[in-house]
Structure 1
């Protein structure tokens, strides 16, 4: 969240308004508290992340979960493009469509290799 605020060159108060939460909630989160479910959902939507990227599989437990899995590449690309202040929305959409097509092509090739 801190990266998004910094990259968008916005204040925490502005971020809170965009997310739909109070500025004091963001302050509490920055001090180590955890959000309630509604705030968590709003924040992950604003960041463009999947909520399950932050969840631990209860069958494995945090001590056995190993390294946190990476977010899907397409989600990461979308978040990076959204954070760019030097691109307008048309350019962001254009780049996202090109990169998404490339990602899908690579994933199809990887799947075909795995199936052999």
Structure 2
């Protein structure tokens, strides 16, 4: 059986995008998600979160933890950018740079278009 590993850096990048979309700072993310600021700092340093913190962050962000474990992906109703990010992280045919470029473009367009729609 192949060993699955949690891709902490990819999860943190996706979490950061969810934070930016909501226009929050990390302290606000800690408060809204119910995790400590030190947990978010450790995550930024590449350390894996404990199970309860991961569950809280997944719940807050709308991301799927499955997308960051061995590339598995399960459909889930979440906000549009979280869904797109999850799908792009699960796509093993994309290079990391290509994936990040696509996410940056979509995020910028979405932010601009939703800002104008309000």
TM-score by length of 1: 0.51
CA gap 1:44/1:37 in 2 versus in 1, 3 angstroms: same
Residues 48 and 78, structure 1, Cα contact 8 Å, conserved in 2: no
CA gap 1:43/1:73 in 2 versus in 1, 3 angstroms: closer
Q: What's the counterpart of residue 44 of structure 2?
A: 30
Q: What's the counterpart of residue 17 of structure 1?
A: 31
**Count of matched residue pairs:** 76
2:116 & 2:33 partners in 1: Cα distance? 21
Rg comparison, structure with higher value: 1
Q: Any runs of at least 4 consecutive aligned residues in structure 1 with deviations exceeding 6 A, and if so which?
A: none
Matches within 5 A, 1:89-100: none
Unaligned runs of 5+ in 2: 1-14, 84-109
RMSD: 3.2
1:7 & 1:78 partners in 2: Cα distance? 8
Residues 19 and 25, structure 2, Cα contact 8 Å, conserved in 1: yes
2:91 is the alignment partner of 1:77: no
The Cα shift of 1:15 comes to 0.4
1:50 & 1:35 partners in 2: Cα distance? 15
Bigger relative contact order (CA 8 A; separation at least 6) = 2
CA gap 1:25/1:8 in 2 versus in 1, 3 angstroms: same
CA gap 1:35/1:21 in 2 versus in 1, 3 angstroms: same
The Cα shift of 1:78 comes to 6.8
Q: What's the counterpart of residue 41 of structure 1?
A: 55
